[in-house]
Amino acid sequence: MALPPFQLALDHHRDSLARFLVATVGPQEAEDCLQETLIAALRAYPRLRDGSNVRAWLFTIARNKALDEHRARVRRPVPVAEADTGGAVALADEPDEELWSAVRALPPKQRAAVVLRFVNDFSHRDVAAVLDCSEEAARRSLHEGLARLRREME
Amino acid sequence: MNVEDRLRKGAPGTVEFDPARFADRAMKEGIADVAYAHADSPLGPLLLAATPHGLACVSYSDFRSEDATLERLAARLSPRVVEAPARLDDVRRQLDDYFSGRRRSFELPIDWGLVGDFGRRVLGRTAAIPYGSVATYGDVARAIGSPRAARATGNALGANPMPIVVPCHRVVASGGQMGGYTGGIERKQHLLTLERAGDRLC
């Protein structure tokens, strides 16, 4: 099976990637992050092996772009009020900002596991593919993330 | 409400994706190996595709599905297939002019990547048939020095990946029969009629 045309993969996974990035880096940075993710993916696409899991591969790239974004944010801190509420106003659903801010503050693996599981409905196995770890380790990251959120929220 | 329920319930939303911004950047960085666009025509919707070398494909979308065309481009040219309408602006303009009778020949670089050696000889000769005239399959076969290959010539024309621009509609069967066409015989008839009218106008 040859690689599908890139545009078809993009059309298929774009919305799901957008939701992942909003949850992971916030609405302010998600649009740029999504563009960066898809440009990086297009650049590397011919090197992807036939029969690869294109979705997991795209989310791995998105996760790396989100990590870059988090690192950049540490270097250029944004005023807290702006970071927490900006952009969210435009969203259709009422987002639970307190909760999602706490999600964004989780350590990277836990954050990715929680978002992939609860925002993107990934199976534990697919979460493991994105995190490039065992299914067991993916479950552990998820449980640790949830435990931490519980401590902070409840 | 516990954390799991809150995570399930209050989705953090989504963001807009700007396809033009993406296509623009992909073209600028030279990583959109195959750019494609949709176009309307009097013969129905078309899918147009180009590489950095030139136009590679014109396809009648209701004759062959767009996904099938894109998959063929991905398999034969490069999987880096991107919808980038601006790259095809010139092709679209020339096609519009052709359909409105203002243009009699196309001035477009061509990428022959989807065509084999024999097909390229056949289509190269076909491109030289003037607007408003026709030749037979046998004429084309003779002109490329393969007088016995009229049938193979017909097959090569049927596989023309750039109908309209490479005018395979100008090749007909001998004895006044139309012969086949890659987009169906009605389209061939339409193009020949258009060119007879255009010939009188110009």
State the catalytic residue, choosing from B168, B172, B192, B194: B168
A114: chain B residues, CB-CB within 8 Å: 7
B134 shares a domain with B195:
yes
Residue corresponding to tokens 């992050």: A33
* Beta-ladder partners of B125: none
Give the nearest partner residue to A35 out of B21, B75, B81, using CB atoms. Answer: B21
| Mean pLDDT lowest among B54-58, B100-104, B189-193, B198-202 | B198-202
| Mean pLDDT lowest among A32-46, B42-56, B87-101, B180-194 | B180-194
Inter-chain CB proximity A3 and B67 less than 8 Å: no
Domain count of the fold of chain B: 2
H or E stretch at B56: strand B54-60
B50 shares a domain with B87:
yes
Residue of B2, B17, B57 to mutate for A, most A C-beta atoms under 10 A:
B17
Res A83 pLDDT > 60: no
Res B154 pLDDT > 50: yes
pLDDT single digits (tens) A27-37: 999 999 999 99
Identify the closest residue of chain A to B24 by CA–CA distance. Answer: A39
B58 shares a domain with B95:
yes
B121 shares a domain with B53:
no
How many Å lie between the alpha carbon of B28 and the closest alpha carbon of chain A? 11
The per-residue pLDDT for A78 is: 57
H or E stretch at B27: helix B19-28
pLDDT single digits (tens) A31-70: 999 999 999 999 999 999 988 899 999 999 999 999 998 8
Identify the closest residue of chain A to B73 by CA–CA distance. Answer: A5
Helix (H, G, I), strand (E, B) or coil at A10: helix
On whether any CB of chain A is under 8 Å from the CB of B83, the answer is yes
Arithmetic mean of pLDDT, B9-34 = 93
User: Counting every residue, how long is chain A?
Assistant: 154
Give the nearest partner residue to A4 out of B22, B29, B71, using CB atoms. Answer: B71
Inter-chain CB proximity B7 and A99 less than 8 Å: yes
Res A109 pLDDT > 50: yes
Out of B64, B99, B134, a domain closes at B99
On whether any CB of chain A is under 8 Å from the CB of B88, the answer is no
| Mean pLDDT lowest among A94-98, B66-70, B76-80, B99-103 | A94-98
Distance CA B199, CA B42 (A): 18
B149 shares a domain with B94:
no
B105 domain-assigned: no
The per-residue pLDDT for A150 is: 94
- Domain extent listing, chain A: 6-153
The per-residue pLDDT for A1 is: 60
| Mean pLDDT, all residues of chain A | 88
Res B156 pLDDT > 60: yes
Out of B41, B69, B99, a domain closes at B99
B77 shares a domain with B144:
no
Q: Is B57 a catalytic residue?
A: no
Q: Is A96:A19 a contact under the CB 8 Å cutoff?
A: no
Identify the closest residue of chain A to B72 by CA–CA distance. Answer: A5
| Mean pLDDT lowest among A72-76, A119-123, B133-137 | A72-76
CATH homologous superfamily for A6-153?
PhyR, sigma-like (SL) domain (1.20.140.160)
**Domain containing residue B188: CATH number:** 1.10.10.10
A14: chain B residues, CB-CB within 8 Å: 17
Identify the closest residue of chain B to A142 by CA–CA distance. Answer: B4
Res A4 pLDDT > 80: yes
B16: chain A residues, CB-CB within 8 Å: 31
Res B108 pLDDT > 80: yes
Res B116 pLDDT > 60: yes
Whole-structure pTM value: 0.89
Out of B65, B99, B133, a domain closes at B99
The per-residue pLDDT for A86 is: 45
B11 pLDDT band, cuts 50/70/90, is confident
CA-nearest of B164, B27, B15, B163 to B85 is B27
B108 domain-assigned: no
Instruction: Say which residue, B144 or A87, is predicted with more confidence.
Output: B144
B122 shares a domain with B72:
no
Inter-chain CB proximity B74 and A4 less than 8 Å: yes
Q: Is B127:B157 a contact under the CB 8 Å cutoff?
A: no
On whether any CB of chain A is under 8 Å from the CB of B18, the answer is yes
One-letter amino acid of B22: F
pLDDT single digits (tens) A136-149: 999 999 999 999 99
Structural domain that includes position B186: 117-201
B130 shares a domain with B94:
no
Arithmetic mean of pLDDT, B67-84 = 97
B78 shares a domain with B40:
yes
pLDDT single digits (tens) B22-51: 999 999 999 999 999 999 999 999 999 999
The HSE-up count of residue B49 (CA atoms within 13 Å, CB side) is 33
Inter-chain CB proximity A43 and B16 less than 8 Å: no
Cα torsion through A125, A131, A133, A134, rounded to 10: -20
| Mean pLDDT, all residues of chain B | 94
Inter-chain CB proximity A154 and B3 less than 8 Å: yes
